[in-house]
Structure 1
Amino acid sequence: MEFSITPILLSLKVAVASVLIVSCLVIPIAGHMAKRDFLGKDIVESILTLPLVLPPSVVGFMLLYLFGKNGPLGKLLESLFNIQVVFNLWGAVIAAVVVSFPLMYQSVKAAIESVDPNLENAARTLGAGEFRVFWTITLPLARNGVLAGFVLAFARSLGEFGATLMIAGNIPGRTQTMSLAIYFYSESGMTQQAMILVLIMTAFSFLVIYGLNRWGKGPNHRSKRGIMND
């Protein structure tokens, strides 16, 4: 069997779709959780970050139960939109969304919490509503954390394996992402093909970490280093 770029393309499709969905969910949820206190907040936050510590097989089993043919969400989607999630690329996207959500959530929430409340209060005294304050003051000031969460979520979605295998299966050309292809090639003794994908994934992961480290240091670090050199 020859090497195919299809797993790479499928992984990119899943990662892009996942990050777009996660971004739409995380930004309002993290904004609310960072700025509001309510009864049971710790419980809600624990649920939101639970996939971060659960084994992928547990996450996959839960998704399979919920979105399976006889599952509550699976029946609903099939009856309303004629969408079947199990053994479909949608299953891979949902798995990626669930496992990458906590990473972006924690990064965005921490960034929003670090915004100076005096700047937000100044906007309120000038007549800006909460919605406008969030989108024009809070979120722009938290952009570094949002971008970091975006990149981490993309990388996590790109490398998702366990939950994807359980809900989407390992169907070449349909649901076989890079992580699944590496496993399949390795089990089939196709070491060269597996190594190519391993190198691609490793190079991408390195670039993600390197880029985040450089971004985190920011211009202040570079200016301080210049002063020290002088």
Structure 2
Amino acid sequence: MTTREDRTRSRRRRELAVGVPGVAVALALLAATFFVLPFIALLVDITWSDLPDLLTSPSALDALALSLRTAIPATLICIVLGVPLALVLARTNFPGRTLTRSIVLVPLVIPPVVAGIILTEAFGRSGLLGEQLSAFGIDIAFTTAAVVMAQTFVSLPFMVTSLESHLGSSGQHFERMAQSLGASKWRTFVTITLPLLRPGLISGTVLTFARALGEFGATITFAGSLQGTTRTMPLEIYLARETDPDAAVALSLVLILVAIAVIAVAYFRPTKNTDSVAS
């Protein structure tokens, strides 16, 4: 039986559809086709009978495990660093704020290989900081830590932009009210700001994790491609494409399914039955 909420939602959809030009609908269908068609082609090209063997090969399992093992800490680092960075950029005025924001967002627009070169110049064995660290026996380049750093560098802007848009548009009057009642800045941040940031934090975490999981250019430039150490799933796919195209297609499917699952879980919103609540 159709609930009142379902009927209301259906009516709103019809209202939103009113006035949409036919050209816009046609272009929207073209855009949807452009996105969906490559996925269909991927599914058609897979030899399903060979899929289990391709996905359970030692190199594939090592690459997938390493991707997850590095993308998770990279995402956590982006949360720890991204929340305060977005807060400072959105709520404070200081000389050079525009320049700082521009630098933070640079990894969004530069080629990932350039990001890898930047990290190498800073943390490579002969880099600005890497040379000093090497003197103490600490080498970052071509290690698993380098993979995490590369993923963090290219993913952090997604977290910052997601949070900054929420920080700049909502919640400030609640925060001012809390501080006027005697709450400290830290207590206000923990009890009011963070809960209000939940939608932005969720979307930022999803985008950050997905970006880290799919990172390729900065990783191969800064960390190299050592099986079990720095060869993540994207690198394994790239190498398999040259020697075993079927394996590359199968591994691509796995990466796509993992990304879809993460996004679906994060954006899932159970609908509430207003009739049952009212009763």
TM more than 0.5: yes
Q: Say if 2:206 and 2:263, in contact at 8 Å, map to a contact too.
A: no
Q: Secondary structure at the match of 1:49?
A: helix
Given the alignment, which residue of 84, 98, 105 partners 2:160?
105
Question: TM-score, normalising length from structure 2?
Answer: 0.73
Q: Say if 1:26 and 1:104, in contact at 8 Å, map to a contact too.
A: yes
Q: Does 1:48 align with 2:104?
A: yes
Q: Percent identity?
A: 37
How far the C-alpha of 1:22 sits from its partner, in A, is 1.3
Given the alignment, which residue of 100, 107, 122 partners 1:66?
122
Matches within 5 A, 1:52-201: 52-80=108-136, 82-188=137-243, 190-201=244-255
Q: Does 1:10 align with 2:66?
A: yes
Higher-Rg structure is 2
Q: Which residue of 1 aligns with 2:259?
A: 205
Q: Say if 1:3 and 1:193, in contact at 8 Å, map to a contact too.
A: no
How far the C-alpha of 1:224 sits from its partner, in A, is 9.6
Question: What code does the residue aligned with 1:203 have?
Answer: L
Q: Say if 1:101 and 1:153, in contact at 8 Å, map to a contact too.
A: yes
Q: Say if 1:115 and 1:142, in contact at 8 Å, map to a contact too.
A: no
Q: Say if 2:159 and 2:201, in contact at 8 Å, map to a contact too.
A: yes
Q: Say if 2:154 and 2:211, in contact at 8 Å, map to a contact too.
A: yes
Q: Which residue of 2 aligns with 1:24?
A: 80
Q: Say if 2:147 and 2:223, in contact at 8 Å, map to a contact too.
A: yes
CA distance in 2, matches of 1:76, 1:144: 41
RMSD: 2.2
After TM superposition, the structure 1 stretch with the greater mean CA deviation from structure 2, 106-115 or 123-132, is 106-115
Question: What code does the residue aligned with 1:21 have?
Answer: I
Runs (5+) with no aligned partner, structure 1: none
Question: TM-score, normalising length from structure 1?
Answer: 0.88
Q: Say if 2:75 and 2:209, in contact at 8 Å, map to a contact too.
A: yes
Task: Output one character per residue of 1:52-93: Cα deviation in whole Å (capped at 9) or x when no partner.
Answer: 10011111111111111111221233334x321111111111
CA distance in 1, matches of 2:179, 2:135: 46
Q: Say if 1:115 and 1:138, in contact at 8 Å, map to a contact too.
A: no
Runs (5+) with no aligned partner, structure 2: 1-53
Q: Say if 1:100 and 1:156, in contact at 8 Å, map to a contact too.
A: yes
How far the C-alpha of 1:209 sits from its partner, in A, is 3.9
Question: What code does the residue aligned with 1:75 have?
Answer: E
Question: What code does the residue aligned with 1:62 have?
Answer: I
How far the C-alpha of 1:49 sits from its partner, in A, is 0.7
CA distance in 2, matches of 1:87, 1:9: 17
CA distance in 1, matches of 2:123, 2:222: 8
Q: Secondary structure at the match of 1:27?
A: helix
Question: What code does the residue aligned with 1:91 have?
Answer: A
Q: Which residue of 1 aligns with 2:42?
A: none
Q: Say if 1:7 and 1:173, in contact at 8 Å, map to a contact too.
A: yes
Q: Which residue of 2 aligns with 1:35?
A: 91
Q: Say if 2:117 and 2:221, in contact at 8 Å, map to a contact too.
A: yes
